[in-house]
Amino acid sequence: MSENDCIFCKIAKGQMEAEVVYEEEGVIAFEDINAKTPVHVLVIPREHVPSMAEVGGLPDGITKRLFEVAQAVAEKKGVAESGYAFRINNGPDSGQEVLHLHAHVMGGRRLSMP
């Protein structure tokens, strides 16, 4: 999948609608369209990287901001204290569907692995 037909790139560029929870220069967070938990937000780098294999190609500081924005989103959604999962699916066995690196912030009920 190229950047041109990547749905998360389109959301990051404002070319596709999403319920944005938070955004800044390099990172955007938006509601998962098919929420699997009461709180289910996706945090993504605006820049297209398909997977963890290319994470080193992100601009300096963006990986750190993904973590910090996830925590800020959890606070905003009221699950920072009750707890949440910060999950990156990577590759076929993980069930990764969208090949633009993204972290799920999931909470609002008791979760279990996997």
Going by the DSSP 8-state scheme, the letter that residue 53 receives in this structure is G
34 binds, among ligand AMP, Zn ion, none (CB under 5 to 8 A by kind): ligand AMP
Structure tokens at 2: 């190229």
Sheet holding 84-87, edge to edge: 20-23, 27-31, 39-45, 103-107, 84-87
Of 47-106, which residues contact Zn ion (CB under 5 A)?
48, 100
How many residues of this chain bind Zn ion (CB under 5 A)?
5
* First-residue to last-residue Cα distance in the chain: 26
CB of 43 to ligand AMP, least distance (A): 12
Q: How many whole angstroms separate alpha carbon 48 and alpha carbon 26? A: 11
Indicate if 102 belongs to the active site: yes
Between 14 and 53, how does the x/- string for binding to Zn ion read (CB under 5 A)? ----------------------------------x-----
Contact positions vs Zn ion (CB under 5 A)? 6, 8-9, 48, 100
